[in-house]
Structure 1
Amino acid sequence: YATHGHGDETMLVHAATAPNAVLRALPALPRALWVPSLHAAWTASAAVTAMYAPDEPVAYEPVGDLDAEEVFARALAHGDEHVIKFADTALDVGDQRALGAVLRAVELSVPLG
């Protein structure tokens, strides 16, 4: 997302948040549904990426000195539920590139409020 989110700022967020939502729901599902659920999530993620990813990336912009808490605060201040869910997913991933993707989502998405 950090380099390709401009293809569709909302739909491409779902490529990350949908699999994360399924991972969180797995404990509530019967074990027999775990593998099919993950397959469905990753298939949907691949389809969204194939449909909406732009042909050309933009340059990746590092987060600099911002930590995860500051990035999440920016997502909350932005207000869009997709950006907030994306930030939550990025915190689960826990690396700088994921945090950079959140800042890109804040930049691309129309703020609420």
Structure 2
Amino acid sequence: PPLGRPGGNFPERLSRVSRIPGWAERVTDPGPARSHLAELVRAATHRYASHGHGDEIMLVHAATAPNAVLRTLPALPRHLWAPSLHAAWTASAAVTAMYAPDGPVPYRAPGRITPEEVFDRALAHGDEHVIKFTDTALDVGGEEALAAALRAIELSEPMG
């Protein structure tokens, strides 16, 4: 759930997170951990399209952190897959709660832009958060993910 009292720095906000829903804790077998991580990345990426204005930088981590775990999963021993899902879920849910805006805003469909063009825009933008979020959005694929990447480009201050 969102924080009742927004504001403050990261440690202050984190101290106000009273609970994290236990969705990921139900997964104890390594088999479904990969698909649950992919679903978490997809949901967090899509949510950014309408909620990224809560904090344009911090909320990219709700998607990019679990995507980093998803990408490294094959290198981990299988007995660490479920605990890795739990850690990624906890981080993503906490950041989502800590930086939730008052409400969603409509997002614009990306139109006829290709994923490559979106990534080129992210590279031209230059912010590392925008670039890694766009990379995550391209992993997710689809119109809503592209809209989320374009939203990150729009919301974040360009480098240089």
Asked if these proteins are the same fold (TM beyond 0.5), I'd say yes
CA distance in 1, matches of 2:130, 2:95: 17
CA distance in 1, matches of 2:152, 2:128: 11
Provide runs of 4+ in structure 1 moved above 3 Å: none
2:157 is aligned to 110
Aligned residue for 2:103, secondary structure, equals coil
Aligned residue for 2:107, secondary structure, equals coil
List aligned pairs for 1:28-107, cutoff 5 A.
Answer: 28-107=75-154
CA distance in 1, matches of 2:70, 2:88: 9
Unpaired segments ≥5 residues, structure 1: none
1:28-76 per-residue CA deviation (whole Å, 9 max, x = no partner) reads 2111111101111011101110110101111111101111111111011
Give the structure-1-normalised TM-score.
Answer: 0.97
Aligned residue for 2:49, secondary structure, equals coil
CA distance in 2, matches of 1:26, 1:59: 34
Give the structure-2-normalised TM-score.
Answer: 0.69
Count of residue correspondences:
113
1:22 to 69, 73, 84: 69
CA distance in 2, matches of 1:107, 1:6: 10
Q: What is the Cα-based RMSD across aligned positions, in Å?
A: 0.8
CA distance in 1, matches of 2:126, 2:142: 22
Higher relative contact order (CA 8 A, sep 6+): 1
Unpaired segments ≥5 residues, structure 2: 1-47
